[in-house]
Amino acid sequence: MPPSALQPKPPRRIAGEKSEYSGINTVFGFFPSLRLIRAFAAVAEAESISQASIDLNLSQSAVTQAIARLEAELGSPLFERRSKGSYLTEVGKILKEHTDKLFANMEEALREFAAGSSAHGGASVQSLSMRLTKSQVLALISIKESGSFMQAARRIGVAQPTIHRSARTLEGNLNAQLFSNTARGSTVNEVGYRLANRLHLAVREFEWAYERIEAQKLRERGRILVGGLLLAGSGFLASAISAFSATHPDVNVDIATASYDVLLERLRAGSIDFIVGLLKLPPPTDDVVEEILAPDPYVIAVRRDHPLAGRENVTVEDLARYDWVMPGPLTARRANFEMLFSDFPTEPRTNIETYSLTILSLLLAESDRMTILTESQILLDQSLGHTLAKVPYRLAQEDAFIGVTTRRNWVPSDIQKNFLDFLRKTQMTGRLRAQAAERGMARSAG
């Protein structure tokens, strides 16, 4: 932690703070009090409890209690006490590394906030940072994620007046309006939304530190937050999660399913670790990168006993005779559909639009409707009972690739690395790669 961050005087009370929620949170993972962390950072910087107490304008007993409480939450000593000072243990060094990143990211978030708002009263970034408490940060992020004060309180298990008080105190500390009233109640405004995103990414450092500390004790604990696209990636995720959980039983895997735009925003904010699904190639923003897992071409899908299933020499006229179920505009599947019938007088009827693979499969199974899926979704259907079939008609834009999208410069933990390895080696990955090789050989022979 830079010395400048220690200059403003924080409240004197550290241990037993009633306003701070518990250190291990089921929603946010390990998230200690920021005041405990500031005490830890000061001792680590000074290598002395007495000097840290002077820097923080606290009593030595208050700093000692703060360190003891943090060590109790982690179940490990953070310092070796010697006659000449207090020196970081290996666990302490891990926490210090992530604490430094947390405060750097937090100050960068506040720097962006200060640059975009004049309401903070001209206070320095360091001063703004010292005003933040854990309960305030939790409140802001939870309200942003949940959409209202009431849902946020339920999400983290506190009373609504408690989260309301934390949120309004944060506004007072920053001298800025972060929330606004809507038809559904109060929620974050644009300024609060951006600040919540940046702070969420910053405090994930606590969770990553906890994973490394548990690994240091030969215990593998932590969370993996995965984003799965609505119409792609299910087979990969299910296969990888099943295999991963068998060998990593103490690691929780949380899956968020949504559209690409929603998941991309959550990825950039640190709410999820990566996205699994069809890649954009290239990605839409410079701060994320994509890794191809396997080719996953588009195919025309119908029910197994559809009149066109397995039929040879299918024409576009044949395809136009049936109703289609498609996702909405501005999607790759929709673009493929429009290109398919671009030279045809009229497009087939598409009066049903859905992003749900379950609803889509049921609609196909109970009618002669058609749609565009990917090869992996056909393989997934085969493993679940084989109700769908492919129409042997090659689409003009059939190329698609399934893969993983991550933040640029993201450094995965050992647990996250292991999960990604399982994704790269799933049975479905192998089958898609084998099919791609067969298609290449067939085209070469043709």
Of 134 and 220, the one with more pLDDT:
134
Is the domain of 187 the same as that of 316?
no
Residue 316 lies in a domain: yes
Is the domain of 104 the same as that of 225?
no
pLDDT at 91: 95
Secondary structure class of 5 (helix, strand, coil)? helix
How confident is the model over 134-161, as pLDDT tens digits?
999 999 999 999 999 999 999 888 999 9
pLDDT at 23: 54
- Residue among 405, 410, 31 at smallest CA distance from 226: 405
How confident is the model over 70-91, as pLDDT tens digits?
999 999 999 999 989 999 999 9
Is the domain of 335 the same as that of 440?
no
User: What is the pairing mode between strands 222-229 and 251-258?
Assistant: parallel
Find which of 4-18, 135-149, 213-227, 431-445 is predicted with most confidence, using mean pLDDT.
Answer: 135-149
Is the domain of 42 the same as that of 62?
yes
How confident is the model over 394-437, as pLDDT tens digits?
998 778 999 999 999 898 888 999 999 999 998 888 888 988 88
Residue 206 lies in a domain: no
How confident is the model over 249-261, as pLDDT tens digits?
989 999 998 889 9
DSSP 8-class letter at 159: -
Secondary structure class of 410 (helix, strand, coil)? coil
What pTM, to 2 d.p., does this model score? 0.76
Residue 2, pLDDT above cutoff 80: no
Across the chain, mean pLDDT equals 87
Q: What is the mean pLDDT of residues 268-292?
A: 93
Confidence band, pLDDT 50/70/90 cuts, at residue 13: very low
Residue 160 lies in a domain: yes
Q: How far, in Å, CA of 115 to CA of 269, rounded?
A: 19
What is the tally of helices (H) and strands (E) in the chain? 17, 16
Quote the percentage of the chain above a pLDDT of 70.
91
Of 381 and 28, the one with more pLDDT:
381
Residue 289 lies in a domain: yes
Q: HSE-up of 356 (CA within 13 Å, CB side)? A: 5
Residue 47, pLDDT above cutoff 60: yes
How confident is the model over 161-200, as pLDDT tens digits?
999 999 999 999 999 999 998 877 789 999 999 999 999 9
Q: What is the CATH number of the domain that holds 229?
A: 3.40.190.10
Q: What is the CATH number of the domain that holds 141?
A: 1.10.10.10
Q: Which residues pair with 87 in a beta bridge?
A: 80
Residue 18, pLDDT above cutoff 70: no
Residue 211 lies in a domain: no
Max distance between CA atoms of the chain, in angstroms, equals: 88
Question: Cα torsion for 373, 375, 381, 387, to the nearest 10°?
Answer: 70
- Residue among 377, 152, 404, 424 at smallest CA distance from 264: 404
Q: How far, in Å, CA of 117 to CA of 176, rounded?
A: 8
Is the domain of 412 the same as that of 303?
no
Is the domain of 141 the same as that of 256?
no
Residue 213 lies in a domain: no
Q: What is the CATH number of the domain that holds 344?
A: 3.40.190.290
Residue 346 lies in a domain: yes
How confident is the model over 343-359, as pLDDT tens digits?
888 889 999 998 888 89
User: What is the pairing mode between strands 24-25 and 325-326?
Assistant: unpaired
At residue 397, φ and ψ (nearest 5 deg) are -115, 65
Is the domain of 387 the same as that of 249?
no
Is the domain of 370 the same as that of 405?
no
CA angle 68, 70, 76 (to 5 degrees): 85
Question: Cα torsion for 366, 368, 372, 377, to the nearest 10°?
Answer: 40
CA distances from 58 to 14, 16, 55, 429 (A): 9, 15, 8, 57
Q: How many domains does the chain have?
A: 3
Residue 17, pLDDT above cutoff 60: no
Is the domain of 305 the same as that of 377?
yes
Q: Which domain holds residue 270?
A: 220-295+401-445
Is the domain of 409 the same as that of 379?
no
pLDDT at 237: 87
Residue 117, pLDDT above cutoff 70: no
